[in-house]
Amino acid sequence: MDRADEIKKFYLEHLPGARVEADILKAPCPFCETTRKETTGTLVAFLDPESYFLGFFRCLNRCTPGGFPLHFGQIMGVKPQEIPGHDPEDEPYARDTAYPPRNLGGEMKKYVSLMGDEQYSYFSQLGASRSTVEEMRIGYNGRYIVYPYFLEDGNCYAARCVLPGREEDQFWHGDKDFFSEQFRIYNVQEIERCRDGSLLVTEGENSLLALRELGFPGIAVPSFTDLESIGPERFGKIRNIFIWMNNSPEAYLSARALANRLGYRARIIQWPQGAKRGASLSQLSMQEGKGFRAVVAGMIKSSKSYSPFASVEKEHSHFLTTLERKKGRGLAGLSTGFDKLDKALDGIRGINIMGGQPKAGKSSFFMQVSTAMAGKKTPVIYYDFENGREKIYTRTLCRLSRLSEREMREASPDRGEWERLESAGSDLKKLLQYFRVVTDRKVSPEIMRRQIDFLQHETRRDYTLVVVDSLHKLPFKNLSERRTGIDEWLRNMEAIRDEQNVSFLVISELSRGEGGHYDQKPDLGSFKESGDIEYSADNALIFVPSLDPQKQTGLQEARKSTLWLVASRENSPGRVAEYLLDYPYWGFKEL
Do 575 and 484 belong to one domain? yes
End-to-end Cα separation, the chain, in angstroms = 74
Number of compact structural domains in the chain = 3
Q: Are both 398 and 450 inside the same structural domain?
A: yes
Cα torsion angle, 99, 103, 108, 109, sign: positive
pLDDT in tens, 244-293: 999 999 999 999 999 999 988 999 999 988 899 999 999 999 999 999 99
In a domain, 97, yes or no: no
Quote the domain boundaries for residue 150.
Answer: 108-305
pLDDT mean over 438-447: 92
Q: Please, what is the average pLDDT of the chain?
A: 90
The verdict on 418 and 292 lying in the same domain is no
Give the β-pairing of 218-221 and 266-268. unpaired
pTM, full prediction: 0.61
Looking at the fold, whether 284 and 144 belong to one and the same domain comes out as yes
Q: How far is CA 316 from the centre of its chain?
A: 19
Residue 483 has pLDDT above 80, yes or no: no
**Burial of 132: CB neighbours in 10 Å, binned 0-12, 13-18, 19+:** buried
Last residue of a domain, one of 251, 284, 305: 305
DSSP calls for 1-12: --HHHHHHHHHH
CA 354 and chain centroid, separation? 33
- Note whether residue 76 is domain-resident: yes
Whether 347 and 479 map to the same domain: the answer is yes
Average pLDDT over residues 462-491: 83
3-class SS of residue 160: strand
Question: Do residues 266 and 409 share a domain?
Answer: no
Average pLDDT over residues 17-31: 94
Residue 262 in domain: yes
Q: Higher-confidence residue: 332 or 8? A: 8
| DSSP string across 503-532 | EEEEEE-B-B-GGGPBPSS--GGGBSS-TT
d(CA 400, CA 374): 13
Higher pLDDT residue, 244 or 91? 244
What pLDDT, on the 0 to 100 scale, is given for residue 512? 77
- Residue 366 and residue 273 share a domain: no
Same domain, 113 and 76: no
What average pLDDT does this structure show over 287-300? 93
Alpha-carbon distance of 32 to 480, in angstroms, equals 72
**Is residue 368 domain-shared with residue 448, that is, in the same domain?**
yes
Is 325 among the domain residues? no
- In the chain, % of residues over pLDDT 70: 94
Domain end position, chosen among 305, 331, 357: 305
C-alpha span between 19 and 11 (Å, rounded):
10
Please compute the mean of the pLDDT values over residues 314-327 and round it to a whole number: 78
Distance CA 277, CA 121 (A): 26
Q: Does residue 181 belong to any structural domain of this protein?
A: yes
Q: Is residue 524 part of a domain?
A: yes
Res. 351: pLDDT tops 70? yes
Average pLDDT of the segment spanning 187-201: 96
Identify the weakest region by mean pLDDT among 34-48, 192-206, 493-507. Answer: 34-48
- Can you give the pLDDT at residue 558? 67
Question: Domain of 62: which CATH number?
Answer: 3.90.580.10
Please state at what angle helix 445-459 crosses helix 482-500, rounded to 10 degrees: 30
List residues bridging with 328 in a β-sheet: none
Contacts of residue 131, Cβ cutoff 8 Å, sequence gap at least 6: 62
Q: Which percentage of the chain shows pLDDT scores above 90?
A: 73
Residue 53, judged by CB atoms within 10 A of its CB (0-12, 13-18, 19+), counts as buried
The pLDDT, as a whole number, for residue 534 is 79
How do residues 528-585 score in pLDDT, each as one tens digit? 766 678 788 999 999 999 876 656 555 554 689 999 999 999 999 999 999 999 989 9
Same-domain check for residues 168 and 228? yes
Report the b/e string of 38-47 with b at 16+ CB within 10 A: eeebebbbbb
pLDDT at 480 over 60: no
141: domain CATH number is 3.40.1360.10
Burial of 214 (0-12, 13-18, 19+ CB in 10 A): middle
One domain for residues 65 and 196: no
Q: Tell me, what amino acid is at 496? A: I
What contacts 10, CB < 8 A, 6 or more positions away? 69, 73, 82, 83, 84
* Res. 307 pLDDT band, cuts 50 70 90: confident
pLDDT at site 320: 84
Q: What is the average pLDDT across 514-529?
A: 72
Question: In the prediction, which pLDDT does 113 show?
Answer: 97
Residue pair 499/466 in contact by the 8 Å Cβ criterion: no
Span 59-71, average pLDDT: 94
Residue 155 CB burial class (10 angstroms; 0-12, 13-18, ≥19): middle
Taking the C-alpha atoms of residue 361 and residue 367, their distance in angstroms, rounded to an integer, is 10
What average pLDDT score do residues 409-437 get? Answer: 89
**pLDDT band at residue 318 under the 50/70/90 scheme:** confident
Rounded CA separation 484/147 (Å) = 55
Q: What is the mean pLDDT of residues 413-431?
A: 90
- Beta bridge partner(s), residue 158: 149, 174
- Of 48, 82, 116, the last residue of a domain is 82
Assigned domain for 509 exists: yes
CA distance 538 to 466: 14
Residues 65 and 178 in one domain: no
Q: Report d(CA 543, CA 528) in Å as an integer.
A: 14
Query: Is residue 472 within 8 Å of residue 480, measured between CB atoms?
Result: no
Q: 126-169 pLDDT, tens per residue?
A: 999 999 999 999 999 999 999 999 999 999 999 999 999 898 99
Residue 87 lies in a domain: no
Q: Counting beta carbons within 10 angstroms of the beta carbon of residue 86, is it exposed (0 to 12), middle (13 to 18) or buried (19 or more)?
A: middle
